Chain A
Amino acid sequence: MLYINCPHCGMRSQNEFSYGGDASVKRPELNKEVTDQEWDNFVYNRKSIRGKHLELWQHISGCRQWIKVERDTATHEIFRTFKADEEVA
């Protein structure tokens, strides 16, 4: 079970969180014309990365904040975590 550092609450076990997918996906702006391809990329197309992956988790049984977690999908190592509005450098 992963041990995730919630930037708001501190170290908490994985069973307090729910997974939210790739954090690098940007939703196209509202009312903007987007091509089918752009929309498909947003809704469906994801890279299945082996290695470092920036992903979303929600601290669902805690502060309910969505956070970003930089995790190695192969080893489960977690490198850094970020608040929703924090820039990932």
Chain B
Amino acid sequence: MTQAFRIENGGLINRDKKLSFKFNGKTYFGYEGDTLASALLANGVHLVGRSFKYHRPRGFFGAGVDEPYAVVQLYRNGETEPNIKATEQELFEGLEAKSVNCWPNVNFDIGAINNFLKIFLPAGFYYKTFMWPKSFWYRIYEPFIRKAAGLGVASTKHDKERYEHKYEYCDLLIAGSGPSGLAGAYAAAKNGAKVILAEDKPRFGGSLLTSDVNIGNQSGKDWAEGIIAELKTMPNVVVKNRSQIFGYYDHNMLVMSEKVSDHLPSTKKYHPNKRLWYIRAKEVLISSGSIERPIVFGNNDTPGVMLSSAAKEYLKVYGVLVGRKPLVFTNNDSGYETAIEFKKHGVDPVVLDSRKNAESEIIDEAKNLGINIKNSYVVVAAQGYKKVKSADIASISEDKKQLGKIENIQCDCICVSGFWTPTIHLASQSGNKTKFKEEIDAFVPGQSKQNEITLGAANGIFSLDETLRTSFKVGSELSKKITEIDNEIAIPNVVEKKSSQHDKFWCVPLPKGKNYKRFLDFQNDVAVSDVEIALREGYRSIEHVKRYTTLGMATDQGKTSNLNGLQLVSEIENKVVPAVGHTTFRPPYTPVSIGAIVGREVGKHSKPTRKSPMHSWHEKNNAVFVDAGVWLRPRYYKKGNENLFEASKREAKNVRTNVGVCDVTTLGKIDVKGPDAAELLNRVYTNAWLKLPVGKARYGVMLREDGIVMDDGTTTRISENHYHMTTTTAQAANVLSHLEYYLQLVWPELNVNVVSTTEQWAGAAIAGPKSRDLLKKLFPNSDVSNEGLPFMGYMEGDLFGVKARIFRISFSGELAYEVNVESDYGNFMWEKIIEAGEEFNIQPYGTEALSTLRIEMGHVAGSELDGRTIPFDNALEGLVSKKKDFIGKRSLQRSAFTAEDRQRIVGVVPLDKQTSIPEGSHLVKDDKAPLPNPKLGHISASCWSVEYDNPFSLAILKDGKNMIGQKLFAMSPLKNKVIPVEIVSSHYVDPKGERVRS
């Protein structure tokens, strides 16, 4: 294929590097420096997709971020990505893209039938139609919409790309590298400020790349290149292209998405695909420029109708003619600039100017070049289906209400300019109260809320000279305040052509008897008639009109449609635009990849993984791990072909008969030190702590102020003013914050320090009838007899030269100990225990066996202490002191907490002694009762009792105290199970607690 619409010379592309690419399966060629859009246009391809609702043929409307139509599905390096704007996607060798929203293909699209049925698809169509009848939604409407709608298909594969997050701080952040951004950045950089200059396009310079101006005796483009080159050499400046600042958040935090690899055939090794920058800036200069606005006329969505600035950009930057018979339709001087560029390249444009007479330097130049200009003329409608073939044009009366005789003229593109809309998204996101500027018929930033200043065209200033002068000044002054350096900069001389006042005209009336669609929002197919319907049906607020019609709700966020929509509402409502107000601008300004937002935190990196010092031993010994909060813990140690059930039963049984060892390093540990440590514990725990002797441990329960159990654990008095507190694995961080809260804010008079020591100690629980024999072997020099180390006793010991802490505490209900050593000796300790334990048939046990042992003993854990239970519910009321006050005590007097039939922990056994009861099952009286069947309680934890060899569960049951012996049903609709059960005591094994004291 030849690039028939590429001019011979000119443009900023690299003609030495030819690139091949595929669009809808066909191979084309372009050059390095092209976008997919410019390369397609160079090949005369105008039809790129179908519209969202009516499936009308759509082409290119813009040349950048404002593009509403040319959204494609991109294929790159074996991956696919939807919602890519062809006007932003840079060409690379081997690029492949496809049209979206059309089936079976873009040239013949079945959905286009919607276009002929458009009378049935007006505003609110989806709300009105698909809501009724309700049963139709799932079967008919939703599948239909799913097939018809959509701007591409997300990949279902795992994303191989990497994405990075970066945090940065700077003095001045400058959004946009047009004239105002360059001047502001340069002045600030010269004053030594730390500057970040961000440009969303690959090339710096903004409007200077396409405008015919001189700055300091060089072309605007050359001046921009010089400034960028100098900024890049400065150590205090970061200059980033392909980087879109898309969100302005609280306290001058802005977020920028840098496309690191999208312009390359594949991502380089060690490079991310995109990098998300969180930038905290002292000052922000918004130099985001402006976007040309369309004039609304009939069939203004036909491929070949585009913004005049886009046509100029395709010509000046990419050397591409968007047509050979252009029609320029304008209400201001910008259209003339495009016409002049066409003329300079040997193409004869016709200019229709809605103004009766307008004079300026630019218009004079056009006239001198012999361009055909028709004043008081408008395009009534574009003609042609898949491409503009001609235009119906007519003269228009001065009040813009009456059209003259319709004429048809041949043309292959219509370049439209309805003046300029400042890009105020970032300013508005910052909280700036925007204001309507009458002279330009558009909103501009008003009073700043954060440290932000908007410059140049984004602020409604369209004179280059004024833009440069104010931008240099602002950049200089803001930086001077920060750096206290004042390096004066000579402001360069500017040569630009003066332009004349634009025409406040934005919509061509319909000719009599014609019913052309006149589109406001091109991406969401919202036409003038849709907004009229919305208003007729009573929608008044612009926010409601937006949601009812979907005006401005597409991925282009109404960049080209907002103001014309507002004009229309204000006209019908007979209000001025500022009274109508604009809808809220919300981040992101442009679509951002989910991958970039997620960054590195995917899969197992979505949270930290903490491992105990004994982790590698567990791995070597066939442990199967389970996530316990952020910890990885052995769930069971697999032997041969054992499954979870068999292994955990074996491990638990071995604890009951011999001795087992469990890694309990993950338990939260807090050092509590100071003369008032006992007093703090006494206030935090529900039981009494003032008289605990040194060398003794005590079990404690702590409440929240609302009386709900927060956590439990044992705390040991190591020495006079030193306590070792343990918490559950899950609550460790919360308990520390809780203690800090009371010490710092409520009782600052208490002289206590708390610090987490979870990671300082490795812990091993040694449990079972033979545990004392093992302990004697491990600590031959210590008296670990029942008298020397009684239940709830504590001592220090010497573990083959390593200092160890020995606690006689039990979670399994067996005779048990817990040994702690400094973390670095954790593995040493573990290996010694295993080695010494061999003769006692020691086996390691995991969390599953640990659970089994605690459940059949009736010990509560996280599944009972679930943030909804008080001490009584857990049969812990014996630990609640009546004598002293403590956190949450007053709440226990609440009537619900003292009710006669208060819920309480019970044991549950299936009548058949066979069927395990799923956790979460509801306990009900009558399994046949009509739904909703009154719930009496729920199963909190289930196990297979190794003591009795049958299933056993714990439950929190209403009036549990008086329910022992009752027969109920456990129902689990999720597992489709109804199990007849008997309620028993929660202390299923060793109810008197004799074993732990043996």
| Chain A interfacial positions (CB closer than 8 Å to B) | 1-3, 13, 18, 20, 27-28, 30-31, 34, 36, 39, 42-44, 56, 58, 60, 64-66, 75-76, 78, 84-85
Selected A-B contacts with CB under 8 Å, 29 pairs? A1-B251, A1-B278, A2-B250, A2-B251, A3-B250, A3-B253, A13-B167, A18-B737, A27-B705, A27-B746, A30-B885, A31-B885, A34-B890, A36-B893, A39-B890, A39-B891, A43-B706, A56-B745, A58-B741, A60-B737, A64-B740, A65-B740, A66-B740, A66-B744, A66-B745, A75-B449, A76-B251, A84-B748, A85-B744
Q: Which residues of B contact A18 (CB under 8 A)?
A: 737
Measured as residues with beta carbon below 8 angstroms from the partner, the interface class of chain B is 20 to 34
Chain B minimum-CB-distance residue to A39 = B890
Question: Are the C-beta atoms of A30 and B891 separated by less than 8 Å?
Answer: no
In the complex, A42 Cα to B746 Cα: how many Å? Answer: 13
Question: Are the C-beta atoms of B748 and A85 separated by less than 8 Å?
Answer: yes
In the complex, A76 Cα to B253 Cα: how many Å? Answer: 13
Interface centre among B706, B740, B745 (most CB of A within 10 A): B745
| Contact for A76 among B250, B740, B748, B890, CB less than 8 A | B250
In the complex, A1 Cα to B748 Cα: how many Å? Answer: 31
CB-CB nearest 6 A-B residue pairs? A3-B251, A30-B885, A84-B744, A31-B885, A76-B250, A66-B744
Q: Which residues of A contact B744 (CB under 8 A)?
A: 65-66, 84-85
The reply to whether the CB of B431 lies closer than 8 angstroms to some CB of chain A is yes
Chain A minimum-CB-distance residue to B886 = A30
| Contact for B737 among A13, A43, A58, A84, CB less than 8 A | A58
In the complex, A30 Cα to B683 Cα: how many Å? Answer: 9
Chain B minimum-CB-distance residue to A23 = B745
The reply to whether the CB of B252 lies closer than 8 angstroms to some CB of chain A is yes
Question: Are the C-beta atoms of A43 and B249 separated by less than 8 Å?
Answer: no
Q: Which residues of B contact A30 (CB under 8 A)?
A: 683, 885
Q: Which residues of B contact A31 (CB under 8 A)?
A: 884-885
Question: Are the C-beta atoms of A13 and B748 separated by less than 8 Å?
Answer: no
Question: Are the C-beta atoms of B252 and A58 separated by less than 8 Å?
Answer: no
In the complex, A49 Cα to B451 Cα: how many Å? Answer: 26
Q: Which residues of A contact B431 (CB under 8 A)?
A: 75
Among B167-193, those with CB < 8 Å from A are 167
Question: Are the C-beta atoms of A42 and B705 separated by less than 8 Å?
Answer: yes
The reply to whether the CB of B696 lies closer than 8 angstroms to some CB of chain A is no
The reply to whether the CB of B649 lies closer than 8 angstroms to some CB of chain A is no
What is the minimal beta-carbon distance from A89 to any residue of chain B, in angstroms? 18
In the complex, A18 Cα to B734 Cα: how many Å? Answer: 11
Q: Which residues of A contact B705 (CB under 8 A)?
A: 27, 42-43
In the complex, A24 Cα to B598 Cα: how many Å? Answer: 37
| Chain B interfacial positions (CB closer than 8 Å to A) | 167, 249-253, 278, 280, 431, 449, 683, 705-706, 737, 740-741, 744-746, 748, 884-885, 890-891, 893
What is the minimal beta-carbon distance from A5 to any residue of chain B, in angstroms? 10
Q: Which residues of B contact A78 (CB under 8 A)?
A: 251
Q: Which residues of B contact A28 (CB under 8 A)?
A: 890
What is the minimal beta-carbon distance from B607 to any residue of chain A, in angstroms? 15
In the complex, A58 Cα to B742 Cα: how many Å? Answer: 12
Question: Are the C-beta atoms of B249 and A3 separated by less than 8 Å?
Answer: no
What is the minimal beta-carbon distance from A1 to any residue of chain B, in angstroms? 5
In the complex, A85 Cα to B744 Cα: how many Å? Answer: 8
Q: Which residues of B contact A2 (CB under 8 A)?
A: 250-251
Q: Which residues of A contact B683 (CB under 8 A)?
A: 30
In the complex, A18 Cα to B740 Cα: how many Å? Answer: 13
Question: Are the C-beta atoms of A66 and B741 separated by less than 8 Å?
Answer: yes
Q: Which residues of A contact B706 (CB under 8 A)?
A: 43-44
What is the minimal beta-carbon distance from B160 to any residue of chain A, in angstroms? 28
In the complex, A20 Cα to B705 Cα: how many Å? Answer: 14
Q: Which residues of B contact A34 (CB under 8 A)?
A: 890
Question: Are the C-beta atoms of A1 and B249 separated by less than 8 Å?
Answer: yes
Question: Are the C-beta atoms of A1 and B250 separated by less than 8 Å?
Answer: yes
Interface centre among B431, B705, B748 (most CB of A within 10 A): B705
In the complex, A84 Cα to B746 Cα: how many Å? Answer: 9
Question: Are the C-beta atoms of B280 and A3 separated by less than 8 Å?
Answer: yes
Chain B minimum-CB-distance residue to A68 = B745
- Given A3-B280, A30-B885, A43-B891, list of 15 further CB < 8 A pairs? A1-B249, A1-B251, A1-B253, A13-B167, A28-B890, A31-B885, A42-B705, A43-B705, A58-B741, A65-B740, A66-B744, A75-B449, A76-B251, A84-B744, A85-B744
Question: Are the C-beta atoms of A13 and B740 separated by less than 8 Å?
Answer: no
In the complex, A23 Cα to B588 Cα: how many Å? Answer: 34
Question: Are the C-beta atoms of B250 and A13 separated by less than 8 Å?
Answer: no
What is the minimal beta-carbon distance from A34 to any residue of chain B, in angstroms? 6
In the complex, A61 Cα to B401 Cα: how many Å? Answer: 66
In the complex, A3 Cα to B885 Cα: how many Å? Answer: 39
Q: Which residues of B contact A36 (CB under 8 A)?
A: 893
Question: Are the C-beta atoms of B280 and A13 separated by less than 8 Å?
Answer: yes
In the complex, A24 Cα to B123 Cα: how many Å? Answer: 51
What is the minimal beta-carbon distance from A56 to any residue of chain B, in angstroms? 7
In the complex, A82 Cα to B85 Cα: how many Å? Answer: 49
In the complex, A43 Cα to B748 Cα: how many Å? Answer: 20
